Amino acid sequence: MKRLIASMMGALGLLAFALPAVAQAPKPHVQASLVADAEGISPGGTIHVALRQVIETGWHTYWRNSGDSGQATEIEWSLPQGFTAGDIVWATPGQHMTGPLMNYGYQDEVLLPIPLTAPKTAKVGEAVTLKAKVYLLVCADVCVPEDADVSLTLPVTAKPAGADLQWGAAIAKALADAPKPAGLSAVFAPAKSGLSLAITGEALKGADLAGAYFYPYSPTVLDHAKPQAIELGPDGLTLTLAPPAAGYAEGKPPTELAGVLALKGKAYEITASPGAAPAGASGLGAPAAPAAAGKASGGLGLVAAIAFAFVGGLILNLMPCVFPVLAMKAASLAGHAHEHAAARRQGLAFLAGVLATFLGLAGLLIAVRAGGAAVGWGFQLQSPPVVAVLALLMLAVALNLSGLFEIGASLQGVGQDFASKGGLAGAFFTGALAVVVAAPCTAPFMAPALGWALTQDPASALAVFAGLGLGFAAPFTLAAFAPALLARLPKPGAWMETFRRAMSFPMYGAAGWLAWVLTVQAGSDALARLLALAVLLALGAWLAGVAQHRQAAGKSALAQGLSGAVIALAALAGAIWPAYATPAATGEASGESAAIPYEAWSPEAVAMAQAEGKPVFVNFTAAWCVTCQVNERVAFSTPQAAAAFKAAGAVYLKGDWTRKDAIIEAELAKHGRAGVPLYLVYPKNGGEPEILPQLLTPQILSAAVETAAR
């Protein structure tokens, strides 16, 4: 029996590591090439050659100042004699929040023009080959240094050549859009919360200054991750910039502040010197709130966060994702009802399993975030291999509850063996499994506590997660120490076998739900492969049960050996046949209802809708988030909600976090959240959003949309 259990657990463990091991051979995440804006170059003439980067979806490269981490792209030229290349004309970067770090760079595709000048002695009619070595760092959840050899051959023409038909217009646009000086006046002065940067000039009058952002050329003059509060004025704006975390050298602010002021569709180079802000730099409005995180969780202290986590853990027991394991808890508690010492040991073992798993997940989460990955609560369910393994584990538990095979008890002695050593291990495992299946849920009070914890030092964060675990385990553990309560439960008997088998069906449901999540993440091919592995696992479990029956009857245990072979075959199938394929599009897969039309969330979509004077409802969701799916059915998929959205003219945006997304993770962190669901309602007249409760009703949803439309 011990060999059987070891073979099953080893096979599942092997499968967990084998699934991702079948990924295709590494390939560059950035396709780099050289393109020119002209069909040739004349002696003494200058053209622009652009470094074109085609970046894999979800990855990004870096600007000249990479921000808190990263590395700017570098080019090492090998040019014909006399040819010279100038500096890169950097495109305006975007913001990439990775955990607590803010980085600046590019995604999808970018052209970086470089002026190239030919010598006057270049011979007309010859072809010259421009060669370069490109060094870049490309990052997503991890960072990969890459290099590429690029080249471009151009003819030397007697006169300036015409524009290249394919790339001439694109490079011209890149040059036109690149930040340039515009005669802006910029000064800065020390402020209570850092530096106050005031910018005025004709170019800013009448411009859309909402969402203005300052990208400094120096990486050490400000804290990139802190928000930049904006105050508008008749002639410009004032930005409040936080000082770097390490402070200024010798306590003195910089003597110059140079960089790029990025507006909607425009960007300007500025160089600010110390001085008093002009009167027209601010005064039209109150400073913008730096983030909603302070409202959501920033005001919590350690004691309050632990208390919130404890209450959230208590409520987590009532969430639908935990229902399958409640059956296992109930069966175990009934088995101990009249053995008080055994019941107490079981309660403590369950508590230990809960705490160990919560703290283990928390430690992994903290470590991964410290490494720069954009992850939050439930992060493990964003990995298709992990989801596949969990689905198989839930199936194995369900088959065990159905009586197909036994672990830790004989076929006849289910109730009598609960007090044994194996029973304690089972209670520990039940606690661990309860935490695993609870991960997709976020209970009230839990979200602000976790949002606060993940911005603190590791010790404080672990203390909050421990409070969450104590709250989650408290009902079962305290019940195990309550003799009066236990005395009311029926004595162990034959009914327990029937009850146990009936409770296998919630576990089958959990396995089916995880299979659906895998389909959302990785497509229908992944589901087919998972089902094949599930059949092999079920066959192995059945053979294990046959072996146990034969062994109990004193017969050969050949079937036991066969069961191990079948389970090993399942692991081998996982190693050679990937359980996930090309990720499927997730826009339709997070349980969305067709009753309310929606668009994909992006910061730009929110800004555009607000500019049009419309209320905006943002739903951050995920296919693996059970709370999200319940809200979809209970609140969003109702005529009342659909009518409210239509009457208010509200724009409905969805941010799908089923797979990892650094931009969504940064937005969650901005509002003090570490996981989904998160519901934001922006009023039509602008301003900060209202954060709705995590459990919605049609009434709450309709009232929030109607209020935002006033």
Identify the weakest region by mean pLDDT among 34-38, 173-177, 344-348, 436-440: 436-440
99 touches 370 (CB < 8 A): yes
Query: What average pLDDT does range 191-198 have in this prediction?
Result: 80
| Per-residue pLDDT at 85 | 93
Mean pLDDT of the chain: 77
Identify the weakest region by mean pLDDT among 313-317, 402-406, 492-496, 569-573: 569-573
545 touches 401 (CB < 8 A): no
Residue 86 has pLDDT above 50, yes or no: yes
Enumerate the β-bridge partners of residue 196. 189, 240
| Per-residue pLDDT at 592 | 41
Residue 10 has pLDDT above 50, yes or no: no
pLDDT band at 104 (very low <50, low <70, confident <90, very high): very high
| Structure tokens given for 443 | 């209970």
DSSP letter, residue 380: G
Chain segment 350-397, per-residue pLDDT in tens: 888 888 888 887 787 777 665 544 455 665 666 677 778 778 877 887
Nearest by Cα to 65 from 251, 259, 225, 196: 259
| Per-residue pLDDT at 305 | 82
Chain segment 243-269, per-residue pLDDT in tens: 886 666 555 778 888 999 999 888 999
Domain boundaries, the chain: 2-20+296-576, 37-178, 181-290, 599-708
What's this model's pTM, rounded to 2 decimal places? 0.41
Which residues 6+ apart lie within 8 Å of 129 measured at CB? 80, 151, 152, 153
**Through-space distance between the first and last CA atoms of the chain, rounded to whole angstroms:** 68
Chain segment 588-637, per-residue pLDDT in tens: 434 444 468 888 888 888 888 887 889 999 999 887 777 787 788 888 98
Q: Could you give the C-alpha distances from 571 to 507, 534, 546, in angstroms and in order? A: 22, 11, 21
CATH class entry, domain 599-708: alpha beta
339 phi and psi angles, rounded to 5 deg: -130, 85
Chain segment 506-544, per-residue pLDDT in tens: 778 778 877 877 777 676 677 778 888 888 888 887 887
Share of the chain above pLDDT 90, in %: 23
Chain segment 643-676, per-residue pLDDT in tens: 899 999 999 999 988 777 777 877 887 787 777 8
73 touches 51 (CB < 8 A): yes
Residue 66 has pLDDT above 50, yes or no: yes
533 touches 569 (CB < 8 A): no
| Per-residue pLDDT at 396 | 81
- Using CA atoms, how far apart are residues 159 and 108, in angstroms rounded to an integer? 36
Query: What average pLDDT does range 490-500 have in this prediction?
Result: 65
Fold entry, domain 37-178: Immunoglobulin-like (2.60.40)
HEC profile of 56-99: CCCCEEEEEEEECCCCCCEEEEECCCCCEECCCCCCCCEEEEEC
| Per-residue pLDDT at 246 | 64
- Using CA atoms, how far apart are residues 632 and 71, in angstroms rounded to an integer? 42
- Using CA atoms, how far apart are residues 657 and 678, in angstroms rounded to an integer? 11
Nearest by Cα to 199 from 247, 288, 291, 262: 262
DSSP letter, residue 41: B
Which residues 6+ apart lie within 8 Å of 415 measured at CB? 335, 492, 493, 496
Residue pointed to by tokens 């997304």: 661
Nearest by Cα to 623 from 378, 420, 292, 399: 378
Residue 30 has pLDDT above 90, yes or no: yes
| Per-residue pLDDT at 295 | 39
Share of the chain above pLDDT 70, in %: 73
Residue 235 has pLDDT above 80, yes or no: no
Residue 412, helix vs strand vs coil: coil
160 touches 38 (CB < 8 A): yes
Residue 96 has pLDDT above 50, yes or no: yes
Q: Which residues of 510-539 are buried (b: 16+ CB within 10 A; e: fewer)?
A: bbebbbbbbbbbbbeebbebbeebbebbbb
Alpha helices in 553-661 (DSSP H): 558-576, 603-611, 626-631, 639-648
DSSP letter, residue 416: T
- Using CA atoms, how far apart are residues 383 and 39, in angstroms rounded to an integer? 47
Identify the weakest region by mean pLDDT among 43-47, 231-235, 380-384, 620-624: 380-384
pLDDT band at 469 (very low <50, low <70, confident <90, very high): confident
